Amino acid sequence: MPRLRTLAIVAPVVIVHLALPLIFAYAVWRSAASGIANWLPAVYLALTFGAFIYLAGAWSWFGHAVRLLLAGVTVGAAVAGARRSVASPLMSLDVIDLIVRGGVGTMFLIATVSAVRGRRVRGPALDLAFPLRGGTFVIGQGGSTTAVNYHADHPSQAWALDILKLNAAGIRANGLYPAELARYAIYEAEVVGPCDGVIASVEDGVPDRPPPECDEGRPAGNCLAIETETATVFLAHLKSGSILVQVGEQVRVGQSLARVGNSGNTTEPHLHVHAEAGKYAGQMMAGPGVPLRFGGRFLVRNDRITPSHETSADSAASPLKSVSAASGAEAESAETISNADHARDAEDLRQE
Ligand SMILES: [Zn+2]
């Protein structure tokens, strides 16, 4: 049964990221031979789907080079097809093709707009230091819409992030979806304090399971809650037995806290981080979610981060060395909740 579950996860990912872009690009080239009227619906679908999968795809599976290559193939097919369609005789319009490609293309256009909107956050955000060190990391889930962050429609976890690590080949695991935890680059990565604060809760002893097994009974797995003046920060799916701090302990930015594991309701090893406004309320998912910035950046799916670390208390504001050029500008729309303005800003977040 695990094999079937693995296949059910892997097959759609391969089809959507690799097969469909190539099929749509080929359709653009082929339809161009029957004139511009038949070419236009094909290119509309290829470009809208291409834009959506470029922004919202899980590219840590295949790497940034493959992402760029497939985007290049799509654009190349559109350009080559444009020339070919103009030179081709006008044939009768295939109305069924027009309706199907027009409809599905519009669906992807709407999804692309949602993925672009997910790159921005309005209103105040909690500024944190990146909670991992030792390598290059990539955002698996992150952003303000469900197109780029499946947490986005959950009130407490609306701005949660799931963070993965890239290996030397620029992908998140050695293999497509291995069962062996050690084949995921992030497994056992060092989790460090994203802020100064007090440990409000520690959950440990939840076993780390091999993918695709997950523990729906204890969704957060091994988990830490760090209380700051304005919000409570949660770090989840930690490795069993790896937590180095206790409830009531004061922790600082950059302090070693635990290791990344695969405990709880998780499809593969990753670090889940989110913050809720206000003090720790005795459990996770009790307060409204708070947008997060790391070193001034609002991180979204496929953003890559190489933290230049960060061992002292003043490093919360230190810049993160960024590999991704795409998202830096949008972060400027977010403001920081400093430790000085507290309850009022936290209250404002409920309106977001
Ligand atoms: Zn998560």
- Number of C-beta neighbours around residue 134 at 10 A: 12
Q: Which residues make Cβ contacts (< 8 Å) with residue 121, sequence separation at least 6? A: 144, 159, 291, 298, 330, 333, 334
What percent of the chain clears pLDDT 70, i.e. is strictly above it? 87
What is the average pLDDT value for the chain, to the nearest integer? 88
pTM for the whole thing? Answer: 0.86
Ligand 1 centroid, distance to 35 Cα (angstroms): 47
Q: Does the structure show a pLDDT above 50 at 310?
A: no
DSSP-based three-state secondary structure for 77: helix
| Contact yes or no for 173/184 (Cβ under 8 A) | yes
Q: Does the structure show a pLDDT above 70 at 341?
A: no
Q: Which residues make Cβ contacts (< 8 Å) with residue 7, sequence separation at least 6? A: none
Determine the average pLDDT of the residues in 28-56. Answer: 94
Ligand 1 centroid, distance to 79 Cα (angstroms): 39
Ligand 1 centroid, distance to 271 Cα (angstroms): 7
Ligand 1 centroid, distance to 61 Cα (angstroms): 17
Ligand 1 centroid, distance to 339 Cα (angstroms): 26
Integer Cα distance of 94 and 244 in angstroms: 65
Ligand 1 centroid, distance to 337 Cα (angstroms): 23
Q: Does the structure show a pLDDT above 90 at 337?
A: no
Q: Does the structure show a pLDDT above 70 at 203?
A: yes
Integer Cα distance of 129 and 127 in angstroms: 7
Determine the average pLDDT of the residues in 277-294. Answer: 94
Integer Cα distance of 74 and 116 in angstroms: 19
Ligand 1 centroid, distance to 203 Cα (angstroms): 16
The confidence band for 309, taking pLDDT boundaries of 50, 70 and 90, is low
Ligand 1 centroid, distance to 93 Cα (angstroms): 47
Q: Does the structure show a pLDDT above 90 at 343?
A: no
Q: Does the structure show a pLDDT above 90 at 53?
A: yes
Q: Over the stretch 100-133, which tens digit does the pLDDT of each residue have?
A: 999 999 999 999 999 999 999 988 899 999 999 9
Q: Does the structure show a pLDDT above 70 at 311?
A: no
Closest CA to 163 of 141, 133, 185, 192: 141
Ligand 1 centroid, distance to 160 Cα (angstroms): 6
Ligand 1 centroid, distance to 159 Cα (angstroms): 10
Q: Does the structure show a pLDDT above 90 at 156?
A: yes
Ligand 1 centroid, distance to 351 Cα (angstroms): 22
Ligand 1 centroid, distance to 163 Cα (angstroms): 8
Determine the average pLDDT of the residues in 57-80. Answer: 97
Span of 214-223, 265-274, 276-285, 314-323 with lowest mean pLDDT = 314-323
Higher pLDDT, 4 or 339: 4
| Contact yes or no for 129/336 (Cβ under 8 A) | no
Closest CA to 182 of 208, 161, 162: 208
Determine the average pLDDT of the residues in 147-165. Answer: 97
Beta bridge partners of 138: 164, 304
